[in-house]
Amino acid sequence: MPEESTDWSLAAQVAAGDDAAFDALMARYKRPVLNFVYRLLGNAADAEDVAQDVFVRAYRSIRQGNLQRTAGQFSTWLFQIARHAALDALRWRRRHPAESLAALEDEGAAAPAAGPAADAEAAARETGARVAAAVARLPEEQRAALVLSVYEDLPQVEIAAVMHSSVRAVEGRIRRARRSLRRELADLLR
């Protein structure tokens, strides 16, 4: 049986009261949802909290009978919930700005050991941090489309469904995001 068909049948089992079926769905989608939310939020602790909230929302929705199997895939429905939960977290963060404990801990971190391997590792970390920061500065619609395309490897049709937009709009958002990243990270691309 195809995976998506299995997902929908597991959701039907959850709706009928089988919590073990929800455990199977969580096991399958925990990592992709967590990765997606992390890339939208840029903070591991917030991503963990939001990912848990995604599964709570999904569970409640399924158990309350609010899940209507669409023509799309189960993952599309779940990523829609994840996107909305991440947006809620971003809105909350904007209304309640505070310096994170993780940022304070990073400032006090010890310097890496010296040597060629350590230098290469430090350079790779710095490059990764610059790319992540550049992605985080993209407008939310561009960032979500890019993350779903590049990191989650979703086809543009599914991204359009997750974002409640057209495929052309998704194509444009991804194109603009890549153009912005190329401009901002031009020195890395040389």
The one-digit pLDDT tens for each residue of the chain (190 residues) are 456 568 989 999 999 999 999 999 999 999 999 999 998 888 888 999 999 999 999 999 998 887 765 557 889 899 999 999 998 888 887 787 665 445 444 544 444 555 667 677 777 778 878 888 888 889 989 999 999 998 888 899 999 999 999 999 999 999 999 999 999 888 877 7
Q: State both tokens at 144.
A: 């979500």
Residue 59 near residue 14 (C-beta atoms within 8 A): yes
CATH class belonging to 114-190: mainly alpha
Within a 10 A sphere around the Cβ of 57, how many other Cβ atoms? 17
Spatial separation of the C-alpha atoms in residues 134 and 130, rounded to whole Å: 6
1-96: what fold?
Rna Polymerase Sigma Factor; Chain: A (1.10.1740)
Answer for the pair 163, 188: CB distance below 8 angstroms, yes or no: no
Sequence spans of domains, the chain: 1-96, 114-190
Sign for the CA dihedral angle at 151, 155, 161, 166 comes to positive
* 1-96 against 114-190: fold identical: no
Quick one: pLDDT at residue 50? 94
* pLDDT given at position 131: 84
Sign of torsion, CA 132 157 29 56?
positive
What confidence score (pLDDT) does residue 13 get? 92
What pTM was estimated for this model as a whole? Answer: 0.69
